[in-house]
């Protein structure tokens, strides 16, 4: 299949991760689950802190993540518990992915969304302040943190935060919290005193095997197939920066490596999104998925009114390409093919942890 030829070398260094102590919030979720699998495969010792899996089925259960990650059941809204667990784990690196991650759920439950996404970030950074072992922190937010002006070009890291819906604004708030903590307690100019480098990361719309979240396009496709029903799609012409989950995860790990080795030079905000020509409409994605899946998938456009969602949304990842030498490896058709392969394997009852490792290895080897 097609390869982006510019991605020729592995930026995620296995030797770096061997034996590293990592604290990962949200490891029972979709992105956090894939990150836990990858970190474990690289030899890191991972402590996962999260609520139970948000869906059933889930990647966490399908891939048996509990068998190789030290799992602590906890809520980032519980500051005291989070502080105690982090201090016991003594991590060197922290990835913060725990969040309420669904736009329409945020409309239904705005208080819970703000509590998780804003105060959860505050609590995470407070726990870092009290944990002397931490040296690098990557706070994962969202491409929706930007004040969306329906531009046709991608948003850069210095664009204003915003969001007219609860989910988007909560992610903008989480970015502001991270920036305030970095400036107030972990300022790069005082790095030699505190020795902590904090960055935030904003990714596009991730897809991948093992995502069963409510109101996400690919999980909705998978559920429709399982039920033998036609998929109803909202906003068919909305354009999003779709990318396979392994793309931003490789960026997060590359960023964490540089935070550990070079500290304040990389303690900033970072976008990890696909090239502009890979930002496609909902309709394009559904049609390609239908072609790859074949018989058994039907869909139609939902004509009923829906809550507001941005029409255009793209990220400019020039900064990551230039300074981290990061670039996505899998074109969107390849990413969709991997999703179909994963769910076909799950449908067949195969070992999904093994399937995840095979896809990670294929991603690492792409372009080499």
pLDDT of residue 309: 57
- Pull the structure tokens for residue 279: 């930002």
Residue 5: the pLDDT is 35
Q: Which residue, chain included where needed, has tokens 């390849």?
A: 334
> Rounded to an integer, what distance in angstroms lies between the CA atom of residue 11 and that of residue 143?
22
Show me where the domains of the chain are located.
14-365
Supply the pLDDT for residue 8: 35
Mean pLDDT, 10 residues at a time, the chain of 368 residues: 40 95 98 98 98 96 98 98 98 97 87 96 98 98 86 84 90 97 97 97 95 92 91 87 96 98 97 91 94 89 64 86 94 97 97 98 87
Specify whether the CB–CB gap between 103 and 164 falls below 8 A.
no
Query: What does the pLDDT read at residue 154?
Result: 84
pLDDT for residue 10 = 57
Pairing of strands 239-240, 280-281: antiparallel
Helices (H), strands (E): how many in the chain?
A: 15, 13
Strand, coil or helix: what is 138?
Answer: strand
CATH code of the domain occupying 14-365: 3.40.50.720
- Burial annotation 7-36 (CB, 10 A radius, 16+ → b, else e): beebbbeeebbeebbbbbbbbbbbbbbbbb
């Amino acid at each position: 299949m097609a390869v982006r030829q510019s991605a020729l070398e592995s930026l995620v260094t296995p030797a770096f991760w061997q034996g590293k102590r990592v604290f990962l919030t949200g490891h029972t979720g979709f992105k956090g689950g894939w990150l836990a699998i990858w970190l474990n495969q690289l030899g890191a010792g991972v402590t996962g802190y999260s609520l139970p899996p948000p869906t059933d089925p889930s990647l966490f259960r399908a891939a048996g993540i509990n068998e190789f990650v030290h799992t602590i059941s906890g809520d980032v809204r519980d500051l005291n518990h989070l502080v105690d667990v982090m201090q016991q784990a003594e991590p060197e690196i922290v990835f913060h992915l725990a969040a309420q991650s669904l736009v329409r759920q945020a409309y239904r439950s705005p208080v819970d969304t703000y509590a998780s996404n804003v105060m959860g970030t505050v609590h995470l950074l407070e726990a870092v302040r009290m944990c002397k072992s931490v040296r690098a922190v990557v706070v994962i937010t969202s491409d929706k943190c930007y004040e969306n002006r329906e531009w046709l070009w991608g948003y850069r890291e210095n664009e204003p935060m915003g969001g007219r819906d609860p989910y988007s604004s909560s992610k903008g708030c989480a970015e502001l919290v991270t920036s305030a903590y970095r400036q107030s307690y972990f300022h790069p100019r005082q790095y030699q005193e505190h020795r902590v480098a904090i960055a935030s990361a904003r990714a596009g719309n991730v897809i991948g095997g093992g995502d069963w979240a409510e109101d996400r396009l690919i999980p909705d496709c998978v559920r429709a197939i399982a039920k033998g029903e036609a998929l109803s799609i909202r906003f068919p012409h909305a354009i999003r920066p779709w990318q396979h989950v392994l793309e931003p995860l490789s960026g997060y790990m590359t960023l964490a490596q540089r935070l550990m080795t070079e500290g304040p030079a990389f303690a900033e905000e970072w976008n990890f999104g696909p090239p502009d020509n890979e930002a496609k409409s909902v309709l394009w994605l559904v049609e390609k998925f239908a072609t790859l899946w074949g018989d058994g998938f039907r869909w139609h456009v939902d004509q009923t009114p829906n809550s507001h969602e941005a029409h255009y949304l793209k990220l400019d990842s020039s900064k990551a390409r230039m300074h981290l030498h990061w670039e996505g490896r899998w074109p969107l058709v390849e990413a969709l093919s991997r999703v179909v392969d994963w769910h076909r394997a799950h449908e067949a009852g195969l070992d999904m942890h093994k399937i995840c490792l095979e896809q990670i290895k294929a991603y690492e080897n792409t372009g080499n």
